[in-house]
């Protein structure tokens, strides 16, 4: 994780929490002046909020001055989680204070205000604030260590992890009272749409109990019958004999219908398996789209059109980038005709959005430019991996008027995801797979919210072994992927989760290791240019990251329409392995 990128959201989040704390302190001071009886309790709560605000200000100052070399990524993750838990607690306190109603500078129902701040309630809030202060203090102490390794050792201590576990438990308790905070996405401060709510393992057991069933039936009856929601002016005692027969029959039918729906929902949830999909963007989406093409809902015309626009846009922009490279290298498009066609392509790239409809004149210019010798030479020396290389290999077909993406085109197409995306797979009548795609940077920050998910799909592009991240340490991309896999395998939230490891781009990998030997980047590799030996070596390094011997299965994806059944068998066997693992663990 890049510390600089990680702290951008951290600084903004801290600033918003400080603002909420300031509003709460002002309200508490006004309340203390109006009600002297509650002065001592309010003073204690105000003092704790001021301490939290001071700690957050120090966190903000530290994050703004952070450099790449001075921080371990684990510190950023722990600090980000601590700030998020702090935000939920502070907003909970602020909500409690904001519920007080004022009338001409005085509180309505002053006795209710005193009840709100009685000793027991205040004591609970002070305890939560103390634990939150301890977690922030530990993060600030860790930030003072001179090396990232020393920071990691301090954060890995048992007492440090215990403090973080306490605030996670406190936040989970608050979620029950304030459910909007259980939704954590990139937009959760502005919207509560399309968000993932926390579900506990024991929910299914509780909801089957007769008491909860009766409560649900009562609530649903009130929802279905508007007359039951009307307030009665006076409570009247009624016996069963006073109720009309028609109304009793209607209530019986409603109760039977609700019972049937509850049982059907229970059967559906028992058959549903959730899979959290994270990993490199292209490999993750390719696996899921390959499975959807066979076992999911068919793509609608609108979805196919969106993919056509994305594929055409990516192809044209890649061609323009190659033209820029050729001109910068001094060769350029020499003849007047080639320059004329090149200008047509550039004008189209600048004005075609958002529809990207290719006409015949544009198609002929693209074909002419792609056949240019300098363009072909420049493309031959470029790295060919991912969706860009695939689109350029089929540029004449893609940039043809009336082009409709094939199934393989859709599988290889770019798949930008703003927050999360759910895909449902029906591989058997008796079970359903719900695959939840999540941006990796966001997923690594909110892993606790996915605790208890049955499976985790993690993808690794085999061709990334000779690429390096753009950070101060120039970290190898494959080593970074394995490090993230290790973080998932060691996470206490995934102790009962089956990790499904999928390797992608094997065909390109077989050609790539001939030009760029694996040994040049991993000196302990001794397998030469043998693709099987190289793949086994990478798998060995991944398995070595599984220190706690968690449930781990693996598969190599062939991005071919004929390989769908092989991937489907991997999904089926993975769900069976997960059941066996849960039986004997």
- Give Dmax (Cα) for the chain: 99
Per residue, what are the HEC states of 142-184?
Answer: HHCCCCHHHHHHHHCCHHHHHHHHHHHHHHHHHHHHCHHHHCC
Q: Please, which residues bridge with residue 437 across strands?
A: 277, 421
CA distances 96 to 15, 123, 225, Å, are 21, 15, 32
* pLDDT at 37 (0 to 100): 45
**Residue extents of the structural domains in the chain:** 3-182, 271-298+416-584, 301-412
Tokens describing residue 253: 């039918």
Annotated binding site for Mg(2+): 285
CATH number 3.90.260.10 given to 301-412: no
Q: Tell whether the torsion through CA atoms of 463, 467, 469 and 472 is positive or negative.
A: positive
Annotated binding site: 285
Pairing of strands 272-279, 431-438: parallel
Output phi, psi for 437, to 5 deg: -85, 140
Angle, alpha carbons 210-216-220 (nearest 5°): 145
Burial of 61 (0-12, 13-18, 19+ CB in 10 A): exposed
CA–CA dist 420, 440 (Å, integer): 10
Q: Radius of gyration over alpha carbons of the chain, in Å?
A: 30
CATH number 3.40.50.150 given to 271-298+416-584: no
What averages of pLDDT result for each successive group of 10 residues across the chain (585 residues)?
50 67 69 53 74 81 70 78 81 71 48 46 76 83 80 82 81 56 38 42 57 59 48 49 60 72 60 76 78 84 91 92 87 84 92 88 92 89 79 92 90 74 75 73 71 85 88 85 90 87 87 90 92 94 91 80 70 66 47
Q: How would you list the strands of the sheet with 420-428, edge to edge? A: 420-428, 431-438, 272-279, 455-461, 498-504, 552-556
Tokens describing residue 74: 């684990």
Output phi, psi for 438, to 5 deg: -145, 140
* pLDDT at 17 (0 to 100): 74
* pLDDT at 583 (0 to 100): 47
| Contact yes or no for 345/306 (Cβ under 8 A) | no
* pLDDT at 173 (0 to 100): 65
């Amino acid at each position: 994780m890049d510390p600089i990128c990680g702290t951008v959201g951290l600084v903004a989040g801290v600033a918003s929490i400080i603002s909420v704390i300031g509003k709460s302190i002002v309200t508490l001071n006004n309340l203390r002046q109006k009600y002297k009886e509650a002065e001592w309790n309010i003073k204690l709560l105000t003092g704790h909020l001021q301490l939290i605000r001071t700690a957050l200000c120090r966190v903000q100052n530290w994050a703004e001055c952070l450099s790449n070399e001075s921080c371990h990524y684990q510190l950023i993750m722990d600090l980000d989680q601590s700030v998020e838990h702090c935000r939920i607690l502070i907003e909970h306190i602020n909500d409690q204070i904001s519920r007080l109603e004022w009338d001409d500078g005085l509180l309505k129902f002053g006795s209710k205000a005193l009840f709100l701040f009685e000793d027991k309630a205040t004591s609970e809030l002070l305890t939560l604030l103390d634990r939150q202060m301890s977690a922030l203090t530990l993060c600030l102490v860790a930030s003072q260590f001179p090396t990232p390794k020393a920071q990691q050792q301090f954060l890995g201590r048992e007492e440090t992890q215990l403090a973080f576990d306490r605030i996670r438990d406190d936040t989970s308790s608050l979620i029950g009272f304030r459910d909007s905070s259980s939704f954590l996405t990139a937009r959760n401060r502005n919207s509560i749409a399309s968000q993932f709510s926390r579900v506990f393992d024991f929910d299914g057991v509780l909801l089957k109990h007769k008491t909860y069933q009766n409560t649900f039936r009562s609530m649903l009856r009130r929802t279905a019958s508007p007359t039951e929601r009307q307030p009665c002016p006076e409570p009247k005692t009624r016996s069963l004999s006073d109720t009309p027969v028609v109304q009793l029959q209607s209530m019986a039918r409603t109760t039977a219908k609700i019972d049937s729906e509850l049982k059907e929902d229970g059967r559906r949830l028992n058959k549903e398996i959730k899979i959290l999909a994270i990993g490199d963007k292209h490999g993750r989406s390719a696996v899921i789209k390959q499975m959807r093409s066979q076992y999911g809902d068919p793509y609608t015309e609108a979805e196919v059109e969106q993919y056509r626009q994305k594929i055409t846009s990516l192809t044209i922009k890649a061609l323009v980038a190659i033209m820029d490279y050729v001109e910068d290298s001094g060769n350029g498009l020499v003849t007047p005709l080639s320059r004329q066609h090149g200008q047509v392509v550039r004008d189209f790239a600048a004005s075609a959005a958002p529809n990207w409809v290719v006409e015949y004149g544009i198609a002929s210019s693209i074909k002419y430019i792609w056949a240019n010798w300098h363009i072909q030479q420049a493309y031959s020396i470029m790295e060919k991996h991912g969706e860009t290389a695939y689109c350029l290999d089929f540029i004449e077909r893609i940039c043809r008027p009336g082009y409709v993406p094939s199934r393989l085109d859709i599988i290889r197409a770019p798949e930008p995801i703003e927050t999360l995306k759910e895909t449902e797979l029906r591989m058997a009548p008796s079970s359903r797979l719900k695959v939840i795609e999540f941006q990796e940077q966001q997923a690594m920050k909110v892993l606790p919210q996915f605790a208890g998910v049955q499976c985790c799909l993690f993808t690794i592009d085999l061709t990334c072994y000779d690429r390096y991240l753009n950070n101060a340490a120039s970290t190898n991309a494959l080593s970074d992927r394995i490090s993230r896999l290790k973080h998932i395998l060691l996470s206490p939230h995934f102790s009962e989760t089956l990790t499904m490891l999928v390797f992608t781009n094997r065909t390109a990998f077989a050609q790539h290791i001939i030009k760029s030997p694996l040994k040049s980047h991993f000196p302990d590799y001794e397998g030469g240019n043998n693709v099987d030996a190289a793949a086994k070596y990478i798998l060995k390094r991944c398995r070595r990251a599984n220190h706690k011997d968690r449930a781990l299965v693996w598969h190599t994806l062939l991005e071919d329409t004929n390989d769908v059944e092989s991937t489907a068998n991997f999904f089926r066997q993975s769900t069976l392995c997960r059941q066996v693992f849960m039986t004997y663990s």
